[in-house]
Amino acid sequence: MIVDYHMHPRRPGGSPGVEDLDHTLEAVERYVEAAARAGVDEIGFTEHVYYFRETRRLWTAPYQVDRCRFELEPYVDAVVEGKRRGYPVKLGLEVDFVPGREEETRALLEPYPWDYLLGSIHFLDDLGIDGPPRLVDAVGVDEAWRRYFAALAAAARSGLFDSLAHPDLVKIFGDRPDAGLTTRLYADAADAVAEAGVAVEISSAGEYKPVAEPYPAAALLRAFRGRGVPITLASDAHLAENVGRGLERVVAHARAAGYDTVTVLEGRGKRQEPLG
């Protein structure tokens, strides 16, 4: 089985830097058709949580505050209607983890019929992991990695999430600490994720970023595999044409680390299916 459990519904033709959100049944259908063409059996929609006004009180970074002006209901309704029509779709959300705001996050998202929640770390103390103002510029590479992986472990332990998005996003610009620190951070993160019983996604998105490799790195993926952490597959598509992009390499990356099953997420539960 091939799943793609990370995508953002957008209209084609948005100008660079200005994304045109499309929370309609037509968007769901466009992505479903693209998935079929790409050989993907099931997709999950995971819009960014910070677009939705219902979550406004969680955000302080200007990037998130500026985007926080849409309503959750049309997004949820479009995907739920797709499910009702029998399309192979799941209702997810990409949720930024805000340390210290776990209970509030849980309460805000509780009323909706999620199949799964994807945990992400894009900002820490309003400094960006993958964009300006960058954490790495403020504190250096080693400290950025320490803080990122500590937050990833806390996100796993929070119980908020079913799976973790782009688990080593902090490598996006290609900077890395020395091998000793990297190995320790990987081991600690993998321990926390395994104990929490959370899945991780393998994402092709990193291949199209400066680091030019999937998330997570092979060594981190082996650390997850060694502790029995289950996986999902992800393109992080922001256009229908990118649904399923690079998943053949993601599957090979998973197999090389020893995986032979993929996680199907449904109604906040998990099961394993044969990979590929």
Distance CA(263)–CA(276), nearest Å, equals 12
Phi, psi of 47 (to 5 degrees): -60, 155
Cβ closest to Zn ion, residue 94 vs residue 168: 94
Distances in whole angstroms, Cα of residue 82 to Cα of each of 33, 93, 176, 244: 12, 16, 42, 19
Cβ closest to Zn ion, residue 42 vs residue 94: 94
Cβ closest to Zn ion, residue 168 vs residue 236: 236
Distance CA(31)–CA(92), nearest Å, equals 14
Site for Zn ion in 73-102 (CB under 5 A): 94
Cβ closest to Zn ion, residue 120 vs residue 204: 120
Cβ closest to Zn ion, residue 97 vs residue 145: 97
Cβ closest to Zn ion, residue 84 vs residue 134: 134
Smallest gap from Cβ 133 to Zn ion, in A, equals: 17
Site for Zn ion in 24-43 (CB under 5 A): none
DSSP state of 35: H
Give the contacts of 89 (CB within 8 A, at least 6 positions apart): 28, 31, 32, 42, 43, 44, 45, 79, 82, 83
Stretch that binds Zn ion, among 85-93, 170-178, 231-239, 247-255 (CB under 5 A): 231-239
Cβ closest to Zn ion, residue 99 vs residue 226: 99
Smallest gap from Cβ 203 to Zn ion, in A, equals: 9
Smallest gap from Cβ 258 to Zn ion, in A, equals: 26
Q: Give the amino acid at 38.
A: A
163 binds Zn ion (CB under 5 A): no
Smallest gap from Cβ 10 to Zn ion, in A, equals: 11
Smallest gap from Cβ 130 to Zn ion, in A, equals: 7
Smallest gap from Cβ 262 to Zn ion, in A, equals: 19
236 binds Zn ion (CB under 5 A): yes
Smallest gap from Cβ 234 to Zn ion, in A, equals: 8
Binder among 55, 105, 120, 158 for Zn ion (CB under 5 A): 120
Can you list the pairs that 121-124 forms with residues at least 24 positions away whose Cβ atoms lie under 8 Å? 121/96, 121/97, 121/148, 121/151, 121/152, 121/155, 121/169, 122/96, 122/169, 123/61, 123/63, 123/64, 123/96, 124/99, 124/148, 124/151
Stretch that binds Zn ion, among 11-19, 82-90, 115-123, 144-152 (CB under 5 A): 115-123
Contact at 8 Å (CB) between 273 and 1? yes
> Applying CB under 5 A, which residues contact Zn ion?
94, 120, 165, 236
